[in-house]
Structure 1
Amino acid sequence: MWGDVERTSRTNWIVGVGSAISLILLIGLMSWLRPGVPKEVTILAGLEGGRSHQWATRYAAYVESHGVRANVVSTAGSGEILDRFEETTKPTVGFLQSGVEREARDAKASEDLQSLGSLFFEPMFLFVHQGSDIHDVPDLDGKRFYSGQPGSDTRSAVRALLETFDIQGQALDPELDRLTPAQATDALLAGQIDAAFLAGESGEGQVRRLLAEDGVRPISAQHAEVFTRLHPDTANLLIPQGLFDLGEMIPREDLRVIAPAMNLVTHQNLHPALIDLFLDAATSIHRPRTLLSKRGQFPSEDYTSLPMNPEALRYYKDGPRGLRKYLPFWLASLVDQLIIYVLPVFVVLSTVFKGIPVVLEVKTKLELGRIYKRIQRVENATDHETKRDEYLAELDRLEAASAKLRTPMVHLPQYFELRQYIHDMRDRLERGW
């Protein structure tokens, strides 16, 4: 009975200590080794009402439906987005056109940035007057033309185009820098400038307006293939006659255009679970076919100028991580975290539990040894007759001490031998030795 009680007590003690150690280690690992999935993320977009801002709003709705709060921040364009990335360390993603980091005022602004992939094309249209002697990009040399506002995606793409063909022109005229795309369209129609670069995905806005005008014409980029080979973050697109409006036959003829791609960009240390979530959103939003892309063409690891995020590359190859394929985002994230933390805890606890029996064994041997030494002092004494009562009292104390020992099963034979030894010693003393 006594042995069962002692063993149960000892088992409860070991389980209690082990559970406490597990809890402490788990909390410590979760708060120190690796942070949990962030509950809030910032999405940097262009001007409110613009296309990238509209996309950002859809992304925000998607991630919020999975339990992550999203704050959409409007900016003046790519330049400000790069600045904001440099200023913050919080979980942030942003919409940047491929190649815009070349326009950064500080080269270090993009060193920590990585692409999660391209999302859609942003074709560049070059418009000139009917009867103009401008037939391709190299003919712009020495002309007065609009190349987008400073810091804009259009300006970045045009600058790369001009540098490739070594064109000087008057693209950086301060008066033209102040023009909006709508004002540049008016200036071109009024004959105040020779040409204008405008960006548009589906023939809407100013692009759609100029394609329908009789006094201007779009230029088909004859050197598009050369440029895209030199700049693989851009695409060489054919826009067939009538693609935007078959009834009005817009455009009026086939056009070859150069198209950078919009990229989803983030810091290189964004949590892997958030990367998966944003790529899930990108797949849901951009996978369908459009006028300029095939079904499933986007999101893509192609058409990027920044380094690709390794987790994003893994996603494109294998899809969502582990349990994300089968469980909701919040539950899969929780299980992933537990696996990451519980495994090392299990290893540590296994070592601890293996060490506990060794400690108990050493402790038991020491306690048994101390009692044996005290018994031997009684046995080796030469005055048993005169100090019998004193020695019997000592044996009582030793028996009481032995009864309190927490003896592992492996040492029960030695324990019972000790108890018998004490009993035999008492009999000898009571018989007069």
Structure 2
Amino acid sequence: VQVAFVQGGADSQPTLPGQPKDDGLVALGSLFYEPVWLFYREDVARRRLRRDAIEGLADLRGWRLNIGTPGSGVPNLMTRLFEANRVDSSSVRLRTLGETPAVAAMLDGRMDAVVFASAPESLLVQMLLQTPGIRLFDFAQAEAYSRRYPFLSPVTLPRGVVDLARDLPPRDVQLIAPTAMLVARDDIHPALIQLFVQAARSIHGEAGWFQRRGEFPSERSLEWPLAREAERTLRGGTPWLQRYLPFWLANLIDRMWVVLLSIVAVLIPLSRIVPPLYEFKVRSRVFRWYAQLRDIEESVDDREDAAHRLLARLDELDARVERLTVPLSYADELYALRSHIQMVRGRIVRAAPPAAPSTPVSPQTPVSSEQTNP
């Protein structure tokens, strides 16, 4: 189970007020009031108390009282209330029937009173509020109960809210009400928390017998620490991005804005550094050959380097430069280098010593035999 509805005060081992529980659970908000309805038979009150109404929980000594099935939350709550009123639970004839069988038993006279926590829309609550001879207990000390038990809230059942024509109830009735909470495991995904809180607002945000419109879901009366994402959604409402974008995209952007801001903060200074670095890298492709070109030019006056060797080195340099590629915006740098290569080539040619003229061989006059023989 990842998410559950939990009634306030249902934990059998409550923590101290203001001390958060540490059991791997977080609250997503309180959803609605679940008032404690204590219905009893008027005839039993007249017979036992000599009056029509119960004035306090101490009057229930000796009564047959149904407190609900074990684990429903009401037994633990009633145990605390009895202890607060110094009533020994053994002095009350407690029963643990379900709500429907208990109500049927009370109507048949086999049960004196029933107590359960439920929303006012419950059919059993609606029926008992309009049943003659059945009265609802008025928690006159509701404010005091709420101060001693933070999970309880004092609520008022307004006069005539059940039936205006019949004026039911005939007077305001004070009740105590734990709140139903939406509780989840602390490892639940934040996106799901946001969806649950939004769904709770659309379902439980309307007005009712005990709350005004927009009062729930709420951060009040929580027994577990409120999840951070639930707190953000409760206070901020639906993110405006979700009004125009799909949920998955809006949620992604909403969670990535910190990263995006960090990226922008890094890109702003980089936008000033990267262009000069790029320009230097491109121009260095061209300028790196000037070192060799200057070395060749400085060797022109060196008599030890023959012109044909310098021209060979220059031809090799020129061939490499021809294979060089640069962006069009830097083509002028490349063509300037090639023109400088040609300029050095011309200087080498001009500085080369002129070739020595070849001496033509004159034809020798044949020697006659008369000249050789005296």
- Structures share fold, TM-score greater than 0.5: yes
Query: C-alpha separation between the residues in 2 aligned to 1:99 and 1:119?
Result: 15
The 8 Å contact of residues 300 and 351 in structure 2, kept in 1 or not, is answered as no
Change (3 A) 1:394 1:263: same
Deviation at 1:124, TM superposition (A): 0.7
Query: C-alpha separation between the residues in 2 aligned to 1:419 and 1:365?
Result: 15
Change (3 A) 1:112 1:379: same
> In the alignment, what sits opposite 1:33?
none
Query: C-alpha separation between the residues in 2 aligned to 1:412 and 1:167?
Result: 101
Q: In the alignment, residue 99 of structure 1 is paired with which amino acid?
A: G
What is the count of residue pairs matched by the alignment?
Answer: 339
Deviations 1:216-269, CA, capped at 9 Å, x for gaps: 432211221101122333221222444323455544654221111222333456
Equivalent residues in 2 for 1:247-396 (5 A)?
247=165, 250-251=168-169, 254-268=172-186, 270-324=188-242, 329-330=247-248, 332-333=250-251, 335-336=253-254, 339-347=257-265, 354-355=273-274, 357-358=276-277, 361=280, 364-365=283-284, 368-369=287-288, 371-373=290-292, 375-376=294-295, 379-380=298-299, 387-396=306-315
The 8 Å contact of residues 68 and 98 in structure 2, kept in 1 or not, is answered as yes
Query: C-alpha separation between the residues in 2 aligned to 1:170 and 1:390?
Result: 120
Cα RMSD after superposing both structures: 4.1
Q: Which runs of 5+ in 1 are unaligned?
A: 1-83, 86-92
- More off after superposition, 108-117 vs 121-130: 108-117
Deviations 1:139-175, CA, capped at 9 Å, x for gaps: 44675532222222433543443344354314999x9
Aligned: 1:126 with 2:38: yes
Deviations 1:43-92, CA, capped at 9 Å, x for gaps: xxxxxxxxxxxxxxxxxxxxxxxxxxxxxxxxxxxxxxxxx24xxxxxxx
Query: C-alpha separation between the residues in 2 aligned to 1:153 and 1:401?
Result: 89
Aligned: 1:95 with 2:15: no
The 8 Å contact of residues 293 and 341 in structure 2, kept in 1 or not, is answered as no
Residue from 86, 98, 113 that aligns with 1:180: 98
> In the alignment, what sits opposite 2:75?
155
Deviation at 1:120, TM superposition (A): 1.8
Residue from 399, 421, 433 that aligns with 2:318: 399
Query: C-alpha separation between the residues in 2 aligned to 1:121 and 1:396?
Result: 94
Change (3 A) 1:204 1:378: closer
The 8 Å contact of residues 143 and 170 in structure 1, kept in 2 or not, is answered as no
Q: In the alignment, residue 169 of structure 1 is paired with which amino acid?
A: S
Change (3 A) 1:309 1:334: closer
Query: C-alpha separation between the residues in 2 aligned to 1:254 and 1:428?
Result: 115
> In the alignment, what sits opposite 1:20?
none
Deviations 1:99-125, CA, capped at 9 Å, x for gaps: 334558xx9986333333322211111
Q: In the alignment, residue 38 of structure 2 is paired with which amino acid?
A: L
Q: In the alignment, residue 256 of structure 1 is paired with which amino acid?
A: Q
Query: C-alpha separation between the residues in 2 aligned to 1:427 and 1:171?
Result: 124
The 8 Å contact of residues 189 and 215 in structure 1, kept in 2 or not, is answered as no
> In the alignment, what sits opposite 1:431?
350
Q: TM-score, normalised by structure 2?
A: 0.71
> In the alignment, what sits opposite 1:49?
none
Aligned: 1:111 with 2:29: no
Change (3 A) 1:426 1:350: same
Q: Which has the higher helix share?
A: 1
The 8 Å contact of residues 142 and 169 in structure 1, kept in 2 or not, is answered as no
Q: In the alignment, residue 94 of structure 1 is paired with which amino acid?
A: A
Q: Considering only CA atoms, is the larger Rg found in Structure 1 or Structure 2?
A: 2
Secondary structure in 1 matching 2:214: coil
Query: C-alpha separation between the residues in 1 aligned to 2:199 and 2:121?
Result: 25
> In the alignment, what sits opposite 1:220?
138
Query: C-alpha separation between the residues in 1 aligned to 2:91 and 2:193?
Result: 38
Deviations 1:370-398, CA, capped at 9 Å, x for gaps: 55146415633777687433322221221
